[in-house]
Chain A
């Protein structure tokens, strides 16, 4: 078991003994003719920081609102700790939510906002004060306890909302685009704060976001959603390095997608190697897959720009393509080169700017070589 060994990686989803905290079982939600959630089955484990990621309208918010009790599934069941929570109203669920708009009560002070839920719980009156002070300390809001929500900054309001939703020590905390209203720098800081708080309180967090970078940063596992279905549920590393479809590969980060067909494997090739014919003239792409797709099937080869090396002299590698630099996007720490390797096919390659600008040797219209190893990319059949 995972917690038998303190050094073990936190991965309850790989442990058959572990029981999930939340279970969606064939859940469907329809609004009139529109199907927001389509026959979805998903397990979320205790102490996870689980991210629901997808474009707007993919159903991620609906999924979260069903956990909060603001929507009921049209079909299927949702279990929390093995109990069907379908008929339980929001005020009786051991679940709290942090709203996208923060939904702070404007007529109450920061202190009273945080105490609001506690006053309606069975906590003895004399302990409420201590708990509020504890939450104020956790979120560094001590100085602002007496202020009204409109008298504090956006970042502070975000922390009040977090403190208020954590005050009742819920089994599950739902965060609906919690950092959407913050500017980029504050958002990055707050992401780490959120992770610290999640770890120190041991609460299970489910976060809804459309920001893939945010999901990758904070989450133990990410569920990529599209049109009411789960495209892939996995750790950020797996989602990034081994996406299961072109959709996921394209949605998370930057990617080069090359369509082609699988060649008949050569006699001496290893069992995992795949050769992909993508052009009539250029050599096939050498890649690998655990279970190679059958010959002549059409596949998509996906490779991240940072795994493509760019050089002005021909390197030795499993895959080498020649091309011409069309564009250079200079981002400071890195540069992305857009290289045309065949008419209409542009491959992006990323290089770290280890040298200062004046000494870099690649420029527009240069003839360059792109190269990558046979394990750098992923072969996708969907």
Chain B
């Protein structure tokens, strides 16, 4: 074992404390017996119990999961298509502009994305509800999927697709039976990323949600304005768990992708 010097140990402790102490306190207080958030009165899971009695929260949670599932699924399909076309189209006039436009929403302030979507939905007369949130989330999650899938496709040996065509596949069959299985890990990790992003989005959702369709982050945000309750702590703890699960599995899948890519390269060599 390598021993940490006093300096390294300190900076490590401070760094992680900075990152995780607030969350740790939130998790600890979610198991607080007392209704007062800042006073510890013994361990209890009663707030979790009460959370599952609270229909408003449960409704919001259900809406959030639905939105996350559909938006990430649509975003994965569109993002994969966008990535495929950008990588395969080769060089054409305005290629840089096109790929820039696919990635621009990544750096666009969320407030602006949200506002423009709101104006757009009003303009086309679409009532705000689950559908509008799904569309909005699809819009921004698609860029992330596209980035992840592009990075895999760039290292993809194009002669594999040519071989499939040569052996009698139609272009679509070649994509379905050769390209897609090989880039699948990247597609899955793109989906997980999109799901996680949709799960914790507050800004865009609050622009595009309607009165009947509140997502969990919106619900928490509005509840907190009336005062923090241990119930919210419990809910947040569950969400931290879910997001962690999503991020960890996404990174495990992309690690598998990298490993597989190496095996492919060896197979090609």
Contact = CB atoms under 8 A, between A and B. Distances in A.
A165 B260 CA distance: 25
Contact of B165 (A91, A100, A148): A91
Interface string A85-109: 0000111000111011111111100
Contact of A101 (B168, B169, B268): B268
Interface stretch (B13-21, B140-148, B154-162): B154-162
State the main secondary structure of chain B at its contact with A. Answer: helix
B157 A91 contact: no
A116 B159 contact: no
Given A99-B159, A101-B157, A106 B168 contact: no
Interface in B137-179: 157, 159-160, 162-170, 173, 178
Contact of B163 (A103, A107, A148, A157): A103
A68 B267 contact: no
Interface residues of B, number: 23
Given A104-B267, A150-B263, A157-B267, A99 B163 contact: yes
Which of B160, B168, B266 counts the most chain A CB atoms within 10 A? B168
B264 interface: yes
Nearest to A70: B162
Contact of A105 (B166, B173, B178, B260): B178
B228 interface: no
Given A97-B163, A99-B159, A181-B269, A106 B264 contact: yes
Nearest to B160: A103
Contacts of B170: 91
A155 to B, nearest CB: 13
Interface in A127-184: 148-150, 154, 157, 164-165, 168, 181
Interface string B180-201: 0110000000000000000000
B267 A120 contact: no
A90 B162 contact: yes
B92 to A, nearest CB: 12
A35 interface: no
B170 to A, nearest CB: 6
Contacts of A104: 267
B163 A168 contact: no
A90 B267 contact: no
A293 interface: no
Given A99-B163, A103-B160, A150 B168 contact: no
Given A101-B159, A103-B159, A120-B173, A96 B267 contact: no
A121 interface: yes
Contact of A97 (B166, B260, B266): B166
State the main secondary structure of chain A at its contact with B. Answer: loop
A117 B167 contact: yes
A168 B167 contact: yes
B263 A91 contact: no
A356 B263 CA distance: 49
Given A103-B157, A106-B263, A181-B269, A120 B168 contact: yes
A105 B165 contact: no
Contacts of A148: 267
Interface in A16-46: none
Interface string B45-87: 0000000000000000000000000000000000000000000
Nearest to A65: B162
A91 B182 contact: no
Given A90-B162, A99-B159, A106 B167 contact: no
A106 B267 contact: yes
Given A103-B159, A105-B178, A106-B182, A149 B166 contact: no
Contact of B162 (A99, A102, A116): A99
A127 to B, nearest CB: 16
A204 to B, nearest CB: 16
Contacts of B162: 68, 70, 90, 97, 99, 103
Contact of A149 (B167, B260, B267): B267
Nearest to A102: B268
Nearest to A100: B159
Contacts of A165: 166-167
Contacts of A99: 159, 162-163
B166 A91 contact: yes
A68 B268 CA distance: 20
Contacts of A149: 267
A121 B264 CA distance: 27
Nearest to B165: A90
A182 to B, nearest CB: 12
A90 B269 contact: no
Contacts of B267: 102, 104, 106, 148-150, 157
A85 to B, nearest CB: 13
A120 B167 contact: yes
Given A103-B162, A120-B173, A96 B264 contact: no
Given A149-B267, A157-B267, A168 B168 contact: yes
Contacts of A154: 269
A165 B168 CA distance: 11
Contacts of B263: 106, 150
25 contacts: A68-B162, A68-B166, A90-B162, A91-B167, A91-B168, A91-B169, A97-B162, A99-B163, A101-B157, A101-B159, A102-B267, A102-B268, A103-B160, A103-B163, A105-B178, A106-B182, A107-B181, A116-B164, A117-B168, A120-B168, A120-B169, A120-B173, A121-B168, A148-B267, A150-B266
Which 8 A-B residue pairs are closest in the complex by CB-CB distance? A117-B167, A120-B168, A103-B163, A103-B159, A149-B267, A150-B267, A90-B165, A150-B263
Given A90-B166, A105-B163, A106-B260, 18 more contacts: A89-B165, A90-B162, A91-B165, A91-B166, A91-B170, A97-B162, A100-B159, A103-B159, A103-B162, A105-B164, A106-B264, A107-B181, A117-B166, A120-B167, A120-B173, A150-B266, A154-B269, A168-B168
